[in-house]
Structure 1
Amino acid sequence: MHVAMSNTAVLIIDMMNTYDHPDAEKLTPSVEAIVDPLAKLVADSRSRDDVDLIYVNDNYGDFSAEFSDIVRSALNGERPDLVEPIVPQHGCRVMTKVRHSAFYATSLAYLLNQLKPERVVLTGQVTEQCILYTALDAYVRHFPVVIPRDAVAHIDAELGDAALRMMEQNMSAELIAAADCLH
């Protein structure tokens, strides 16, 4: 199968979430704030040939789960309103992960090496955990990283801000608004 090169790869990280976990109460307000800008970025990405949309989601320890099972659980979870606007469409690129980084034990690096994007946009949750570790793994693999501040959610606001500063200073990440990611 031939994989065409893209200008931008947009990763949607861990947004298929049931919000039925110990940190959900702290996380949910931040996710509420990013759903609209993220949904617009997802819609804009779908409409463009030069953008690859890739969903990477934790399998939450269920190694028998298909991606569709994770989506279904999220839609049947505590906050389907935070999931519905960004659900992957049929035929979309999806992969599951088992730890914080979207690169760890996944085929993401291989896929990105095939796509050869000029930049990798990281969106989703949690800024101070999965987004930070994915940014580091992208940086050490020489992928230019873009973080839309209004499309990443945190559990702890101070740690989220610190993670954004670290990504900008230590990983040369470009911090911009979601609306500016595809320009």
Structure 2
Amino acid sequence: MSKQALLIIDYTNDFIDDHGALSCKQPGQILENEIVSLANQFLQQGDFIILPTDLHIKNDPYTVESKLFPPHNLANTWGRQFYGKLENWYQTNKDSNSVEVIDKSHYSSFCGTSLDLFLRERNITTLHLTGVCTDICVLHTAVDAYNLNYNLVIHKNAVGSFSPEGHLWALNHFKTCLGAQII
């Protein structure tokens, strides 16, 4: 049986809350209960829950994202805290050996991070992807995971985006081009 991990990608105030710096708002907000439910399920099963989360420095001239988007997910700010019930879940479970936050500065959770090493050390072969945005950070993470030979499961009720068209396109791409299981 393959070992699995749940990735909750960029589910922060800046990406979800109505007052967030780069918020997809309602399409992200409606995922809250499903994401927390999945986190509880994976924790109870003894699986890993990984929270790859953007971390930026204001006006960083070396990060491409700072040229495309307003400042967001800045270190030690309200915007970088997890949104709603996920923040409460994280505060309750952050000391568990099964919960890991991985800072990232690019769309993909793998780019410039220790995620692949973390997964391989634990013999994890299947990744369950949740979070935002379906057609940006979740997509880039899925493509890199596919190229690194991970099995992919996308929870369609736990991913969302700014654009309904981009969201649907990404779900189709996960299935038809990356062989992901969509549940």
Cα distance per residue 1:117-137 (max 9 Å; x no partner) = 231011111001000000000
* TM-score between both structures, scaled by the size of structure 2: 0.78
Partner in structure 1 of residue 84 of structure 2: 81
Kindly provide the amino acid, as one letter, of the partner of residue 45 in structure 2. R
| Structure 2 counterpart of 1:34 | 31
Runs of 4+ that moved beyond 4 A: none
| SS of residue paired to 1:149 | strand
Offset of 1:167 from its aligned partner?
A: 1.1
Deviation at 1:168, TM superposition (A): 0.8
Which runs of structure 2 are paired with 1:29-178 in the superposition (5 Å)? 29-49=26-46, 51-61=47-57, 73-74=78-79, 80-81=83-84, 83-84=86-87, 86-87=89-90, 89-91=93-95, 92-176=99-183
Rounded to whole Å, the distance in 1 between the matches of 2:118 and 2:81 is 30
Structure 2 runs not aligned, ≥5 long: 61-72
Q: Secondary structure at the match of 1:155?
A: coil
Alpha carbons of structure 1 residues 86 and 147: separation in structure 2 relative to 1, 3 Å: farther
Q: How many residues are paired up?
A: 161
Task: State the TM-score, normalized to the length of structure 1.
Answer: 0.78
> What RMSD over aligned residues (CA atoms) do the two structures have, in Å?
2.5
Q: Which runs of 5+ in 1 are unaligned?
A: 177-183
Alignment of 1:9 onto 2:40? no
Does the CA-based 8 Å contact 1:46-1:53 persist in structure 2? yes
TM-aligned CA distance change 1:85 to 1:157, over 3 Å: farther
Identity over aligned pairs, percent: 25
Match of 1:60, SS state, is coil
Q: 1:175 to 1:87 in 2, by over 3 A?
A: same
SS in 2 for 1:11: strand
Instruction: Report if aligned partners of 1:10, 1:53 keep a CA contact under 8 Å in 2.
Output: yes
Which structure ranks higher in relative contact order (CA pairs < 8 Å, sequence separation ≥ 6)?
1
2:12–2:81 contact (8 Å) kept in structure 1 = no
State the partner residue of 1:179.
none
User: Aligned equivalents of 2:180 and 2:51: distance in 1?
Assistant: 20
User: Which has the larger share of helix?
Assistant: 1
